[in-house]
């Protein structure tokens, strides 16, 4: 958007030759932040470690050795199968070269029975090629089939072509060694955070009992080796900062060949501890990849634990009158290590910090809940101690919300009649959805969680408030109802605003995934940016992303028929590709396009747009432009006297727009 304000003299040079197509690894070098973390080179080294771990996860490697060399390079060695180095049948180039120089080349896309990896974290296929692009030098040695191959790259390009020789006597039978020299130009600091690397390698050893993981530092001549046989329990017990109030609860569950819903081998292993004080330890992994931002597998653990503890409390009649138990009450003092295996994990972003796979919630919860229920009923005293901890947390939370309620005073405006409010008064948890149309509002009311989600249906398009005086805003019914519902008066960017009367921690704009819906989104964003800027600054405004397509995939083998949702054309293509890999051709998939939210029933709306564990919710922030430049741009877009400027803008950028007619 910044280019809108550039001088007109530059527009003359904008033609066919101006469009640049990035080839090979150029996109990574141009925008490294899209593919990896750029604070330090740990993540590009982790990509190599993850590949070695995938070999161990597949059962072909028993040792992973990482060495920090004195010259600043890092090498990772495993005793797995070795990267294939023969010619690719279609590309006509050595496979080992393609793996390191092509963004979407790898052995982890094919998840069928003939695939090289059943479970791996390397879903995107851009891992080690990113490492190569952001390194001044990268050397690879692969041993397999009685031969040793070596190839060297510099800044992502082949520097020394592939050389293959027979293995000598005494050389290891098979395996891979990758040595990488990270390019300091791409990172804020070229120093590897040793504590983070140590933690990563130690956790790999924990999650793969029987596999030896080592770290050698040439400068200090230190070597650390990890080999765990006790698994998650030993690790969590050693890491906990305080004594647990009940014994550690350890368990695992894996789908077998008879499972209707999940692939054979999918499931999770976990270890839970509950403490009364001190910080909590929470670590989760998917196919050995750390997920520090959590995701749907953690949501599944939380759901399973909550339902089991809640059921135990209800069975024994332990809940005092007037106390309502919430998942965060049960989970407030929980520490855990969770290791999930998912056949085809969908991550948020290339650095894989958060798992987005919707089925992972059902997968993990389905194994955790019955296992914990059995454990609680077999250890009733421990169950009662755990219940006491959760009930105390619920009482503390309710007392805190009541204190806030008293400060509000009696002069509260009458809430709009069409607002369907929520029961909770917990600001941090409450959500208000501004929904386009009464029909969608009706589905949202039925599909929502009435405990913390409120619905305000909007009739027709909201007024363009960019040039409306603040004291005239309430003349418009829709704007009046929004202001009264959220509990904050309209204000300017420099006004002193008391946000203590705010009634919802999240204000979510929910409109159709079409042009009209986008228009309503723009009008509401205009209202908030112009007249409620402090809500945007404080991170209270969000835009919900409902899907545009639903895909019904028929039963395939033992897998039952399933429905998938796609936000746009790109996700639709991904769903169809996945179905095709599972043996369902495109023509057998039923694709329906939602004309609007009103077409969705309550269950669909909850699953795709309202459920905090599976929805897509985008926070509204200023972005690359500061407040003044954003204001200037908004004036150009929304001002009544700016028709000429808008026409110029459309002439300049009209070819970049996909028109949805």
φ/ψ (deg, to 5) at 541: -105, 135
445 labelled ligand-binding: no
Asked if residue 535 lies in contact with residue 621, where contact means CB atoms within 8 angstroms, the answer is no
Which residue has 């080349």 as its token pair?
A: 105
639 labelled ligand-binding: no
Distances (CA, A) of 379 to 94, 255, 316, 366: 59, 26, 13, 21
φ/ψ (deg, to 5) at 500: -70, -20
Both tokens of 4, joined, read 């809108």
54 noted as active-site residue: no
Of 47, 198, 64, 56, the C-alpha closest to 129 is: 47
Distances (CA, A) of 183 to 72, 134, 148, 513: 10, 6, 27, 42
Partners of 94 in beta bridges: 87
CA 494 to centroid of chain Cα atoms? 35
79 noted as active-site residue: no
φ/ψ (deg, to 5) at 59: 90, 15
Which residue has 């020394």 as its token pair?
A: 160
366 labelled ligand-binding: no
Q: Of the residues 514, 537, 582, 642, which is catalytic? A: 514
51 labelled ligand-binding: yes
The DSSP result for 415-469, as a single string, is PPTT-B--S---TTT-EEEEEESHHHHHHHHHHS-TTTEEEEEE-SPPP--TT--
Q: Of the residues 196, 344, 421, 516, which is catalytic? A: 516
Which residue has 């995938």 as its token pair?
A: 54
| Continuous segment of H or E residues that includes residue 405 | helix 380-407
Q: Which residues contact 104 (CB under 8 A, 6 or more apart)?
A: 124, 125, 126
Q: Sign of torsion, CA 97 99 100 105?
A: positive
Distances (CA, A) of 307 to 294, 356, 514, 516: 20, 22, 38, 40
127 labelled ligand-binding: yes
Asked if residue 325 lies in contact with residue 391, where contact means CB atoms within 8 angstroms, the answer is yes
Strand stretches in 79-205, DSSP E: 135-144, 147-154, 157-166, 175-182
Give the Cβ contact number of residue 111 at 10 Å. 19
Q: Which residues contact 538 (CB under 8 A, 6 or more apart)?
A: 499
Quick one: DSSP state of residue 264? T
Q: Of the residues 79, 303, 329, 436, which is catalytic? A: 436
Buried b (16+ CB within 10 A) or exposed e, 468-499: beeeebeebebbebbbbbbbbbbbeeeeebee
250 noted as active-site residue: no
φ/ψ (deg, to 5) at 291: -120, 80
Q: Which residues contact 1 (CB under 8 A, 6 or more apart)?
A: 623, 624, 625, 633
3-state secondary structure of 274: strand
543 labelled ligand-binding: no
Q: How far apart are CA 158 and CA 168, in angstroms?
A: 25
229 labelled ligand-binding: no
253 labelled ligand-binding: no
514 noted as active-site residue: yes
122 labelled ligand-binding: yes
Of 96, 150, 158, the C-alpha closest to 133 is: 158
Residue ranges at the known binding site? 14, 51, 78, 122-128, 352
Residues with catalytic function: 436, 512, 514, 516
Residue ranges at the known binding site for ATP? 14, 51, 78, 122-128, 352
């Amino acid at each position: 958007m910044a280019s809108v304000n550039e001088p007109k003299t530059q527009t003359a040079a904008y033609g066919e030759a101006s469009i640049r197509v990035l080839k090979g690894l150029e996109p990574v070098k141009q925008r490294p932040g899209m593919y990896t973390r750029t604070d330090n080179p740990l993540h590009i080294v982790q990509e190599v470690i993850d590949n070695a771990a995938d070999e161990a996860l597949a059962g072909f490697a028993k040792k992973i050795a990482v060495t920090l060399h004195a010259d600043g390079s890092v090498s990772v060695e495993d005793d797995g199968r070795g990267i294939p180095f023969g010619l690719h049948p279609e590309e006509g180039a050595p496979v080992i070269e393609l793996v390191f120089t092509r963004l979407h080349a790898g052995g982890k896309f094919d998840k069928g029975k003939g695939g090289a990896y059943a479970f791996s974290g390397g879903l995107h296929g851009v891992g080690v090629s990113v490492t190569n692009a952001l390194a001044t030098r990268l050397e690879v040695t692969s041993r397999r089939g009685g031969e040793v191959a070596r190839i060297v790259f510099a800044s992502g390009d082949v520097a020394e072509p592939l050389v293959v020789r027979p293995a000598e006597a005494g050389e290891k039978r098979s395996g891979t060694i990758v040595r990488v020299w990270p390019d300091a130009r791409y990172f804020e600091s070229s120093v590897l955070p040793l504590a983070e690397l140590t933690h990563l390698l130690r956790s790999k050893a924990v999650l793969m009992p029987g596999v030896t993981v080592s770290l050698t530092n040439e400068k200090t001549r230190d070597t650390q080796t990890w080999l765990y046989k006790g698994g998650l329990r030993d690790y969590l017990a050693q890491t906990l900062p305080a004594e647990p109030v009940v014994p550690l609860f350890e368990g695992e569950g894996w789908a077998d060949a008879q499972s209707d819903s999940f692939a054979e081998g999918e499931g999770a292993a976990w270890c839970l501890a509950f403490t009364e004080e001190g910080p909590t330890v929470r670590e989760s992994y998917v196919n050995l990849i750390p997920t520090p931002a959590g995701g749907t597998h953690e949501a599944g653990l939380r759901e399973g634990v909550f339902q089991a503890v809640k059921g135990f409390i209800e069975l024994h009649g332990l809940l005092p009158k007037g106390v309502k138990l919430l998942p965060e009450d049960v989970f407030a003092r929980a520490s855990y290590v969770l290791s999930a295996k998912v056949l085809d994990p969908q991550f948020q972003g290339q650095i894989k910090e958060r798992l987005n796979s919707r089925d992972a919630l059902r997968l993990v919860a389905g194994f955790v809940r019955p296992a914990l229920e059995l454990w609680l009923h077999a250890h009733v005293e421990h169950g009662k101690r755990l219940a006491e901890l959760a009930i105390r947390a619920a009482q503390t939370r309710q007392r805190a919300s009541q204190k806030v309620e008293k400060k509000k005073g009696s002069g509260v405006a009458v809430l709009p009649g069409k607002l369907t409010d929520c029961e909770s008064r917990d600001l941090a948890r409450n959500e208000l959805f501004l929904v386009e149309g009464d029909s969608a509002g009706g589905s949202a009311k039925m599909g929502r969680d009435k405990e913390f989600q409120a619905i305000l249906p909007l009739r027709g398009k909201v007024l363009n408030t960019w040039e409306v005086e603040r004291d005239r805003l309430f003349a418009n019914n829709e704007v009046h109802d929004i202001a009264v519902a959220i509990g904050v008066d309209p204000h300017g960017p420099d006004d002193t605003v008391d946000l203590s009367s705010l009634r919802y921690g999240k204000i979510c704009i929910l409109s159709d995934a079409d042009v009209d819906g986008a228009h309503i989104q723009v009008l509401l964003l205009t209202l908030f940016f112009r007249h409620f800027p402090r809500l945007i600054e404080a991170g209270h405004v969000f835009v919900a992303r409902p899907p545009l397509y639903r895909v019904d995939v028929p039963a395939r083998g033992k897998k039952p028929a399933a429905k998938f949702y796609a936000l746009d054309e790109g996700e639709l293509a991904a769903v169809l590709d996945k179905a095709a890999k599972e043996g369902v051709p495109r023509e057998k998939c039923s694709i329906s396009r939602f004309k609007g939210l009103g077409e969705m029933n309550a269950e669909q709306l909850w699953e795709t747009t309202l459920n905090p564990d599976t929805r897509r919710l985008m926070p509204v922030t200023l972005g690359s432009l500061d407040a003044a430049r954003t204001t200037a741009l908004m004036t150009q877009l929304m001002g009544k006297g700016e028709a000429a400027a808008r026409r110029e803008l459309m002439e300049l950028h009209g070819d970049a727009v996909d028109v949805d007619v």
